[in-house]
Structure 1
């Protein structure tokens, strides 16, 4: 294995895609090549990019819908299993592990999607393999370090809280064991999206993981397991979903597990995309979980659980955006690699209109039926 730190073919330039990070620029004139089914490039007579985005969004929407329903059912079951106070502790622990999870990913999920899609356009198998391997290993290494910090520092973290909640020490230490599985599952799912398909990511994150978690929570309910059992179910579901992700990656990209296949790392380029995006992801996390963390600091227990129930109901609106972003990002990356700005502009307009329309429809449903939705808790 060798490392190509400054490849001539992959000069970076400002992104026109979905983020502020630099995007690799392709060689040659900005001409769309003929279709290549194996390479994922539609040509004359093949699907249009709009059709591919619509189909991918349909798959992702179905997965998001099922995943959200399964996740919602799991939260209802957890609230019944743990009671208000311990459900609040569980929710606070989930907020903490989600924050550490973002630090562990270090923005690599964006890098792996962009660069796998980019190198796939050029048929560069060695760089595709290097990107996936490097993203998985770096994030797992960071997660193990932060997991140790989280485990041994749990007492210190809880000591800073004004609320007297000694139970949170055990909760945080249990979630520390979950973190590497969480990162492993997420990165395998993101890596599959670099092949311009959201089908496998939907299976992993919206079907397998929440389905297994609901099943394991039901087992905890039957066995009378407490909050530690629920956290163990959370981690086990992620481990099994991550293994399913590796299986899908093997089907999509057999050279990943072939030791004879060449591997080329592009550390500088990968970090050039990942570091800025990690800042963006951190800001999004603060937007999503800061209220839970602040409420947990001053009113740990039942109030956190009640707030989380309402917040999870409201976040159904984000399902539409996530449904499109999974397939939209790698397709835009491939178009930018070929400098097809006309098709990029058309896609941006269509997808923006679809996202707004779908989110507004969900907004109306939640506003009108809010009391009925909250009553299930």
Structure 2
């Protein structure tokens, strides 16, 4: 893999850390700003909503900016947001920092996916995207536990200072390692498009179907995951102190699934997506049925992370393929779709809990959402022009 992908992965690591580490630091943040934990929790939901907004708005605004320049600008926004968070004198300023940092999230992964794909041969594009998202998965496996530990030991602000430094490293790496558009023009990688051409990509029904599959397929996993701590303690019988370590195991599954999913999607995109969505449906349902067993819960948690994140490279590649003439905005929109899926899964899981259906009900809800996503994918694959067969390269226009 090109060394430039490492710079993109470092950026992904920092962004993933910003998104998730706050979950382990909410008590400290709430105490420091003298707000309730519920109010502190808005720092999470506010971030998620800003990701969805930024994924569309900033990607569209940057359509005429060379992609390397756009990525550098987005990292400046990321550094600024985390710097504001580290220095925040009040809850309101802290929320501002979270929003500023979140705005770059979707656009970075959306534009970064296109850049990663254009750095490699056609048969390695999904693997290249998976490499970039590997930074995000490592943030869950290593970054969140270490960031939480640092925040608890040296104050929560120290974690955001550390993330700011990671942002600076990513900026330097992108500046030094990602090729400029001028050097890539001969390969058809000018790195700019018009807003009109980017929007025109949404005339394709397959682009919309791809986005719907992303919302449902990824939302299913998060439907089960959002309330997993309750399942682990109230159903499986684990002590509360064991939950962080079990979540690390889930993160290991994310990392392995991401790598495998990228390689499998390069070999056969449509069959890989069909297989992993079917497998995720089965895993979520099986988890719900066996959550009373600690050993089976450990296995199910690992599989849920692995199979769930194995969908990500393929889902991103599918939307880029069908928006091949102008993939950047569609790629960003698909990143927004991941976050919409998170919100949908969390909401539906909460509805089942509020209805008194028990602590395994979010897993059943997740299985149902994923199954619906699988149905949509089958319909999309059978529609005219919807099938992507093994050995068919992604059109060169994806790199345009």
TM-score (norm 1): 0.41
Q: Higher relative contact order by CA 8 Å / sep ≥ 6: 1 or 2?
A: 1
TM-score (norm 2): 0.39
Q: For the pair shown, which has the larger CA radius of gyration, 1 or 2?
A: 1
